[in-house]
Amino acid sequence: MADFQYYTPTRVAFGRGGPEKTGALAKQAGAHKVLLHYGGGSAVRSGVLARVEASLRAAGIEVVTLGGAVPNPRLSLVREGIALCLREGVDLLVAVGGGSTIDSAKAMAYGAAEPDKDVWELYEHTRRPAACLPLGAVVTIAAAGSEMSDSSVITKDEGGVKRGCNSDLCRPRFAVMDPELTLTLPAYQTACGCTDIMMHTMERYFVSGPTMQLTDALAEGLLRTVMANARVLQDDPQNYDARAEVLWASSLSHNGLTGCGITQSDFACHGLEHELGGRYDIAHGAGLAAVWGSWARYVYRDCLPRFAQFAVRVMGVPDAGGAQATALRGIETLESFFRSIGMPTSLRELGITPTEADLDALARGCALAAGGKKGSARVLYEADMRAIYAMAR
């Protein structure tokens, strides 16, 4: 196993009545004036936003609100939020929503903490963040895991350039995780979320180099649990316990726990998806499902023992007469699972029919964002990325 550091500074308040806990948590984080950030309106319609605001005010905290974060959150709104934070003297941001809203708040928190600098430089990787306002999250969808992650992903409006910035500075001070808040999710968003949760662990599982038995056991258990409960939620979307299982999995899958003891995670599928998300504005989880099978078939020979182990321990595939056949059976079985929960397994099913020139542009953008190469199961260069996009058509 490899040496590692594990850093999770986020206080988690898990369970029913979450919105009412927000005021005390914000107070504990030292807040006097909060920017309450939300998305396209689901939190207004469900009443969650009003409950959070009431809790903050009851704790004696002033509140300014800003809605409008969209899936693949935009830089233009981030800039608006930074200006609002500075004008109002905000000292804590609270995001009510999913990865998009939390990431948008993280970018605002970076920008407001270093107001003389352009926040986009952090996402272009021409500068590292030196400061970030504190933030908290009230999670309404089990998916991205941004409530405990070090990551924030923003899309620049012009040209649809989607880029991520990773730093411990943006890890939320607290996360309110109330499974009841996720009961209003449409089936498609539930499935997208479960796919993304699985992918965050799989990006740390399909690696070359040393691994760790305990981490493997945690990862495999998490993946089996998410699949089982994604199936339950298809037929019974109001099932509180199933919602709770996937909600907690969303945090554990992306807070570093399922990556302890490995040298380097893979995250090639995320790189491939981010390029698609920026250009075609698709749901993140669906984009991951659409490329995963093609990526897996392209790289599995370079990471054969891991793919064979995954097939047996996670997908429940019996030994198919050798590692290669078993690994391939595992890939097919996961693709079948994705289809069974309504996820696409090709770009066409995602509604994208890229031309040859589009494939060139996607691969160029993906390679550029990654600094030329990406991956651990197999290191991918621009030509490899293009080949995978072409396979995924």
Q: Is the CB of 42 or the CB of 309 nearer to ligand NZQ?
A: 42
For the CB of residue 234, give the shortest distance to ligand NZQ in the complex, in Å. 16
Q: What is the CB-side half-sphere exposure of residue 387 using CA atoms within 13 A?
A: 10
Q: Is the CB of 196 or the CB of 220 nearer to Zn ion?
A: 196
**Helical packing angle, 304-313 and 323-340, nearest 10°:** 50
Task: Round to whole Å and give the CA distance between 137 and 355.
Answer: 40
What are the strands of the beta sheet with 174-177, ordered from one edge? 11-14, 174-177, 135-139, 92-97, 33-38, 62-66
For the CB of residue 4, give the shortest distance to ligand NZQ in the complex, in Å. 18
Measuring CA to CA, which residue among 216, 153, 217, 225 is closest to residue 194?
225
Three-state SS at 170: helix
Indicate whether 196 belongs to the interface with Zn ion (CB under 5 A): yes
Indicate whether 289 belongs to the interface with ligand NZQ (CB under 6 A): no
Q: Is the CB of 73 or the CB of 293 nearer to ligand NZQ?
A: 73
| Burial class (CB within 10 angstroms; exposed 0-12, middle 13-18, buried 19+) of 357 | exposed
Indicate whether 330 belongs to the interface with ligand NZQ (CB under 6 A): no
At position 138, the amino acid (one-letter code) is: V
Task: Round to whole Å and give the CA distance between 240 and 18.
Answer: 14
- Residues of this chain, 2-41, that bind Zn ion according to CB under 5 A: none
Interacting span for ligand NZQ (CB under 6 A) from 97-105, 130-138, 226-234, 338-346: 97-105
97 binding partner (options ligand NZQ, Zn ion, none; Cβ < 5 to 8 Å by kind): ligand NZQ
Indicate whether 270 belongs to the interface with ligand NZQ (CB under 6 A): yes
71 binding partner (options Zn ion, ligand NZQ, none; Cβ < 5 to 8 Å by kind): ligand NZQ
Q: Is the CB of 266 or the CB of 312 nearer to ligand NZQ?
A: 266
Q: Which position among 123, 178, 179, 189 is part of the footprint of ligand NZQ (CB under 6 A)?
A: 189
- Residues of this chain, 38-57, that bind ligand NZQ according to CB under 6 A: 39-43
Alpha carbon separation from 295 to 147, 231, 241, 345 (Å, rounded) = 28, 24, 33, 11
Encoded tokens for 122: 């952090």
Q: Report the C-alpha dihedral over residues 132, 267, 294, 329, rounded to 10 degrees.
A: -130
Q: Is the CB of 163 or the CB of 386 nearer to ligand NZQ?
A: 163
In the complex, the residues that contact Zn ion under the rule CB under 5 A are 196
In the complex, the residues that contact ligand NZQ under the rule CB under 6 A are 39-43, 71-72, 97-101, 103, 140-141, 143-146, 149, 151-153, 181-182, 184-185, 189, 193, 196, 254, 270, 277, 284-285
